[in-house]
Copies of this chain bind each other. A is one copy, B any other.
Amino acid sequence: MSAAVITTLAGMVRWLELFAERGFEQTTATDIAQAVGVTERTFFRHFADKREVLFHGQQVFERAFLDGLEAAPPGTAPMDLIRAALDSATALFPDERRPYSRVRQTVIDANPALAERERHKLAGLGTVLAGALRRRGVDELSAAVAAETGTAVFGIAFTRWIREGETRSLPAIAAEVLARLSALAGG
């Protein structure tokens, strides 16, 4: 079986269930490898440690923001670049992914070290977005403000999307959060 199974949605749900049942600390890399049918050696060829299993999608995630931003026409205003980035990134999370995202968040929220890592990765997104805005000619302060608020909008929208009972799509929620930001901050 290919090692890629670790990162398929089905594979992810299997090891997430392990984390959720046994607790993250109590689950070893060997347990995860066994659960998805690969050897421990194969596991460590793909992940530096078991924490990384939860965060391996970071590059794809950041790339989606950048793709949206970079595809916008020249002269697009900073917050519209952020809107384009959000449209592109939220498309990575169709509704069939919501149950997985919910279990993943439960595991992360139950472990302070994982929650810190999650915050850190989201902060990294802010840095990446600010760099992309500056490359589009946005001045440094505007780039920082637009990038950090864009990151905050994503975080707020994502938290709402994975709430129990929430049925709206992530793109729809992100659009609502962005509109609220505009209404509040534009005064």
A156 in contact with B145 (CB, 8 Å): yes
Q: Is A181 an interface residue (CB 8 A)?
A: yes
In contact, A142 and B184 (Cβ under 8 angstroms): yes
Q: Whole-angstrom distance from the CB of A160 to the nearest CB of chain B?
A: 8
Q: Is the interface of A mostly helix, strand, loop or mixed?
A: helix
| A79 pairs with B184, CB closer than 8 A | yes
Which of B112, B119, B123, B155 is A148 in contact with, Cβ under 8 Å?
B155
- Known contacts: A115-B120, A116-B116, A116-B120. The answer to whether A145 contacts B187 by CB under 8 A is no
Residues of B within 8 A of A159 (CB): 144
A50 within 8 A of B: no
Chain B residue numbers with a CB within 8 Å of A176 are 141
Chain B residues with Cβ below 8 Å from A182 are: 185-187
- Which of B141, B156, B185 sits near A186, CB closer than 8 Å? B185
What is the minimal beta-carbon distance from A154 to any residue of chain B, in angstroms? Answer: 10
B interface footprint on A145-187 (CB within 8 Å = 1, 0 otherwise): 1101101110110011000000000000000110011101111
Which residues of the partner chain B approach A184 to less than 8 Å between Cβ atoms? 77-79, 142, 145-146, 149
A117 within 8 A of B: yes
Do A152 and B148 contact each other (CB < 8 Å), given the known contacts A120-B116, A120-B119, A184-B79? yes
Chain B residues lying within 8 Å of A186, measured Cβ to Cβ, are 182, 185-187
29 contacts between A and B (CB under 8 A): A77-B184, A77-B187, A78-B184, A79-B184, A79-B185, A79-B187, A112-B120, A116-B116, A141-B160, A141-B176, A141-B177, A142-B180, A144-B159, A145-B152, A145-B156, A145-B180, A145-B184, A146-B184, A148-B155, A148-B156, A149-B149, A149-B181, A149-B185, A151-B152, A181-B185, A182-B187, A185-B186, A186-B186, A186-B187
